[in-house]
Chain A
């Protein structure tokens, strides 16, 4: 979130603002944040540096860790991309068409947000298990969903879908109908209108939504551990690996993992941000 810069009067040290309460609120905010956010997170960084660089890298290079990262990041990315497509379709239908039940559908979109993760977790695990409503449909074909990577994928689809829909929806709604009508009068076909008038403004929003779904997926724990299978090297996710390390009192190791995970996520998000601003500059935002 960026904060617009033109509200309030300038704060100069020593100059009094007409509105009171600045110092106490700022002080409280800084204190609270320092104590609850900065301190704990710095403990993480410090703890991770308990290992030397080469030790840390060697630690990260073990097969179990590599596999966990592949599972967490790879499947999150895949799910986020699929959610991108599906979410776009749903947002499109919600914004551009009127059909019975549209308002209900619009409300349902938020459901994965509203359900606590553990609740979603046991529900998804049961639903896609071999005897579950959906899992049971696939079991006769030898397809296992729960306790496999497929289960992780499905759970991430569930958790990440609203992110895409909710980021794309407002942008779609904001697209001027008149710009599309103008394109019509200028001779464009429906395909041309989609490709050149509708799609370009959507891209940044879509990327944002995908990025958010991805970020959420990587760190997701509660909805995952029930359906994931958690087999080291196969269906173990990074957050679970961290918990295992903590239980073994391998604080340094757990911290290294956590920092590596944050770092990798940050890199990917940065890449997506860069992609977005490039798009924006190309198309005048």
Chain B
């Protein structure tokens, strides 16, 4: 439904977007995820027409959208700080898009009022139509903003860090609510966030941006399990990072005493190894790939225990089941044997090649070809 090709944009000489290409399918919920300055908001605003691209193309529903002004693109936009019209009631805010339509297309007063009520119900704020934004909570304001965007029946919904200005609890509530709304309406939606949990939990696909480029696009599970680059590896979830050296097809982790792992076809030379805390096995049954570490500290966090382990002079974090830790009666200063269930290696050269082979046999390689083609979208029900 949306096709972006090689989009470029510069601000004051610095590249905000450095060649973005992406396809988005009809009815898809896509997250644009990345750190500040990665270009995700710029991309969103270019799709909306609020910014102009320097180069590249943008097609919406097969039409060239770049020369089309925002008001004619059929989009709904929701801002991080709501951008509600403070001097209008919630109902008037929602009705706004309908009331500015040209005479010929404008619905009757009654039709507009009905639609406003319909939308208030949709966002579960019936009865609050007469309130002014200053009389609403943050979460309520954002829902009104969403209702306002939906009132004109856009074919594309764009959200710029929609929950960024809200309390943590409200953020989580609205996250689920947004997903439900999306499932109900089936509207193509793109939202920008820097919160990976939000992106991974909410989206059909996640596009990870870094410094104006797309690092990887894929389903949440995929980008998490098969990170296409060291950046994605580090950005999503927690990681332990270990320098290593590849020689003769194997990499030795840490200075000494570390295990050596299969490095596949990666070239000899320096590399970085990543291990996720929960992929560290304590007291493994097999000696293959196992090594000894010293417990430096541990802390109980709910049902899990977080361990700080020293391996070859370097501190790594492990996330383990509390029961197991208790069973092993681990305390600071003790030595414990561990094994890495999955280690991912990335070279430090510009090509950024990656390779991994898990202890259960799963293998993977990076970079992964950016999946441009839209997901074949099948909706049930």
Contact = CB atoms under 8 A, between A and B. Distances in A.
A184 B70 contact: yes
A181 B87 CA distance: 16
B74 to A, nearest CB: 9
A197 B92 CA distance: 12
Contact of B83 (A176, A192, A196): A176
B84 interface: yes
B76 A185 contact: yes
Chain A, interface size category, equals: 20 to 34
Interface string A172-192: 000010110111111111001
A61 B72 CA distance: 63
Contacts of A188: 71, 96-97, 100
Contacts of A189: 71, 100
Nearest to A195: B100
Query: Which 9 pairs from chain A and chain B are nearest by CB?
Result: A284-B132, A283-B87, A186-B97, A178-B83, A185-B77, A188-B100, A182-B83, A187-B71, A200-B87
Interface in B82-121: 83-89, 96-97, 100-101
B48 interface: yes
Given A200-B87, A201-B86, A201-B87, A176 B100 contact: no
Contact of B89 (A186, A201, A284): A284
Nearest to B79: A178
Contact of A284 (B77, B79, B81, B134): B134
B79 A186 contact: no
Given A179-B83, A181-B77, A284-B132, A186 B88 contact: no
B71 A197 contact: no
25 contacts: A178-B79, A179-B84, A179-B86, A181-B79, A181-B83, A182-B145, A183-B85, A183-B100, A185-B48, A185-B49, A185-B77, A185-B149, A186-B152, A187-B72, A187-B152, A188-B96, A188-B97, A189-B100, A196-B96, A197-B85, A200-B87, A284-B86, A284-B89, A284-B134, A285-B132
B140 to A, nearest CB: 15
A52 B86 CA distance: 51
Given A283-B87, A284-B89, A284-B134, A176 B50 contact: no
B70 A196 contact: no
Interface of B: 48-50, 69-73, 75-77, 79, 81, 83-89, 96-97, 100-101, 132-134, 145, 148-149, 151-152
B79 A283 contact: no
Contacts of B75: 185
Contacts of B76: 185
Contact of B96 (A186, A201, A284, A285): A186
B83 A284 contact: no
A284 B70 contact: no
Contact of B87 (A184, A187, A284): A284
Interface string A149-181: 000000000000000000000000000101101
Interface string A45-61: 00000000000000000
A162 to B, nearest CB: 26
A183 B96 contact: yes
B101 A187 contact: yes
Contacts of A187: 71-72, 97, 100-101, 152
Interface of A: 176, 178-179, 181-189, 192, 196-197, 200-201, 283-285
A54 B81 CA distance: 61
A192 B70 CA distance: 15
Nearest to A188: B100
Contacts of B101: 187
Contact of B81 (A178, A185, A186): A178
Given A185-B75, A284-B86, 18 more contacts: A176-B81, A178-B79, A178-B81, A179-B85, A181-B70, A184-B69, A184-B71, A185-B73, A186-B97, A187-B71, A187-B72, A187-B97, A187-B152, A188-B71, A188-B97, A196-B85, A200-B88, A201-B86
Given A200-B87, A201-B87, A284-B134, A182 B79 contact: yes
B87 A185 contact: no
Contacts of A285: 87, 132, 134
Contacts of A178: 79, 81, 83
A186 B71 CA distance: 6
Contacts of A176: 81, 83
Nearest to A175: B86
Question: Among A187, A192, A200, A283, which residue has the most Cβ atoms of chain B within 10 A?
Answer: A187
B115 to A, nearest CB: 13
Nearest to A180: B83
A196 B93 CA distance: 11
A186 B50 contact: no
A83 to B, nearest CB: 24
A58 to B, nearest CB: 48
B50 A181 contact: yes
Contacts of B96: 183, 186, 188, 196
A185 B77 CA distance: 7
A187 B68 CA distance: 12
B9 to A, nearest CB: 17
A181 to B, nearest CB: 5
A284 B86 CA distance: 7
Contacts of A179: 83-86
